Amino acid sequence: MNVIEKLNSIKTGEITAKENVESFIKVIDENNEEINAFLELNKENALKQAKAIDEKIANGKKVGSLAGLVFGVKANINVEDLIVSAASKTLENYIGSYNASVVEKIIAEDGIIIGLLNMDEFAAGSSTETSYFGPTQNPAAIGRIPGGSSGGSAAAIAAKMCDISIGSDTGGSIRNPASHCGVIGFKPTYGAVSRQGLLDLSMSLDQIGPLANDVSGIALALNTIVDYDETECTTLNWDKPDFTSVIEDNSLENMKIAICKEFIDVTDDEINKTVNKAINKLVDGGAELVEVSFDYIDLCLPTYYLINYVEFFSATRKYDGRDYGYRIEEVCGDEVLRRIKIGSHIAQAEFSGKYYKQALKARSVIRNEINSMLENVDLIVGPTVPKLPHKIGEKLTPMEMYAYDILTVIANLAGIPAGSIKAGEVDNIPVGLQLQAKPLDDLKIIKAMSVLQNTQ
């Protein structure tokens, strides 16, 4: 049963919202100690919410578009009365005093928040190993990382602990773990979803998005969370589509998709072979395949991390131990401290022009190049992550860790939508197909994912 079928079953009373919540609580109770996806649980409230939804349905009253569906939320997104720690000792006692805009929208549509999910500390990482509360296991490849920084969000879906999860994506933090865990993850166009209530990693790159086991879950979530928010200055006021309108599609006639040689060149051969099989299915579905080139692949990671360092340093100045939590530099992990120190250094006046402003110029070059690549095609398709996830505890240098992001940072730098869907497996480990589109062409990605899913 996919997510939309379950939703319809709840609305018709075939199964109850309470039964849906209870089934996930059972799975969480049995498996979370091993997987470590959830940091905070909201069982009592979730059951109370489910009961109210069931009563509305029983009395013939109108219910929301997410009625009874169960959501997990990344621990850097505010949920009232839960500890919003961002997986850091810095905020281990910080209780959310309000709901982020996305959480408000989910609850308003009768979605149920079951708890908060593990992540890399302050979203600084690609493996979920930097969490103060310990690493998350990859349910699809036990013993290996689930990816990051939204590792808990992907693992919760892969372990069937909730219907839909919400993560944040700054340089691939939704798509990277979606690829490693064999689930679907989606980063909307920058500004399509309100970031109000998100703890910033890098404000000009961050975007909130959903993860699910099937495309209908992604589409339902997007229909709710993609919206203009007058309290958040980056949100877009646009004529958003109905994302569920394409989930039954099985044809890509008149759609042109592109592969990029430079993306293939930086990716392991076995991953490329698996991804190519998924691309061939899109072609079988009617898509025309062309090739494009991208001359700035080597520029992407340095540009991304320079911007990330400076904006993260700025964002963390509020964690000074006076209003809440501890002073971040005194209790944070190595990766967070590394980013703060480098960001502080680059932000100094004498280095700002040399590094940060140059990185902003480089981002403009990358954005223009990506937009020109997309000018005559609907989608760019290829691998999500260039290598398989390493074993938990295996020592990687910072540059080896950053290399996971080489294919995903591009969408954040360009502000374009991008998603990852399972392409297949290499050595029994999931591998993702990444799809990227023009700004506000988010629906085209959902359509292609639907065709891939419906023809398997």
pLDDT tens sequence across 259-278: 999 999 999 999 999 999 99
Q: What pLDDT does 4 receive?
A: 98
Q: What pLDDT does 5 receive?
A: 98
101, 127, 131, 149: the active-site residue: 149
Instruction: Kindly indicate the confidence band of residue 352, based on its pLDDT and cuts at 50, 70 and 90.
Output: confident
Instruction: Kindly indicate the confidence band of residue 351, based on its pLDDT and cuts at 50, 70 and 90.
Output: confident
Whether residue 357 lies in the annotated active site:
no
| Adjacency order of strands within the sheet including 70-74 | 38-41, 112-117, 70-74, 164-169, 207-212, 184-187, 418-426, 429-436, 379-383, 256-260, 288-292
Pairwise CA distance, residues 288 & 443, whole Å: 18
Instruction: Kindly indicate the confidence band of residue 98, based on its pLDDT and cuts at 50, 70 and 90.
Output: very high
Q: What pLDDT does 455 receive?
A: 86
Q: What is the mean pLDDT of residues 445-450?
A: 98
Both tokens of residue 309?
A: 């360092």
Instruction: Kindly indicate the confidence band of residue 290, based on its pLDDT and cuts at 50, 70 and 90.
Output: very high
173, 179, 216, 420: the active-site residue: 173
Q: What is the mean pLDDT of residues 372-394?
A: 97
Pairwise CA distance, residues 50 & 271, whole Å: 42
Q: Is residue 446 over pLDDT 80?
A: yes
Q: Is residue 380 over pLDDT 90?
A: yes
Pairwise CA distance, residues 96 & 81, whole Å: 5
Let me know: does 86 contact 318? Beta carbons within 8 Å. Answer: no
Both tokens of residue 261?
A: 């040689």
Give the tens place of pLDDT for each residue, 393-412.
Answer: 999 999 999 999 999 999 99
Give the tens place of pLDDT for each residue, 159-208.
Answer: 999 999 999 999 999 999 999 999 999 999 999 999 999 998 999 999 99
- Compute the 3-state secondary structure of the chain and give helix, strand, coil in percent, each to the nearest 5: 45, 15, 40
74, 187, 422, 444: the active-site residue: 74
Give the tens place of pLDDT for each residue, 316-341.
Answer: 999 999 888 899 999 999 999 999 99
Instruction: Kindly indicate the confidence band of residue 251, based on its pLDDT and cuts at 50, 70 and 90.
Output: very high
Q: Count Cβ neighbours within 10 Å for each residue of 326-348 and write b for 16 or more, e otherwise.
A: bebbebbbebbbebbebbbebbe
- Which CATH architecture is the domain 3-454 placed in? Alpha-Beta Complex (3.90)
> Which of 162, 250, 172 lies closest to 205, judged by CA?
172
Q: Is residue 355 over pLDDT 90?
A: no
Give the tens place of pLDDT for each residue, 17-76.
Answer: 999 999 999 999 999 999 999 999 999 999 999 999 999 999 999 999 999 999 999 999
Q: What pLDDT does 72 receive?
A: 98
Q: Is residue 239 over pLDDT 80?
A: yes
Break the chain into its structural domains and give their ranges. Answer: 3-454
Q: What's the Rg (C-alpha) of the chain?
A: 21
Whether residue 149 lies in the annotated active site:
yes
Q: What is the mean pLDDT of residues 302-325?
A: 93
| Percent above pLDDT 90 for the chain | 96
pLDDT averaged over every residue in the chain: 97
Q: What pLDDT does 13 receive?
A: 94
Q: What pLDDT does 406 receive?
A: 97
Q: By mean pLDDT, which of 348-357, 359-368, 378-387, 395-404 is the weakest? A: 348-357
Three-state DSSP state, 203: coil
Q: What pLDDT does 432 receive?
A: 98
Q: Is residue 456 over pLDDT 90?
A: no
Q: Is residue 350 over pLDDT 90?
A: no
Whether residue 74 lies in the annotated active site:
yes
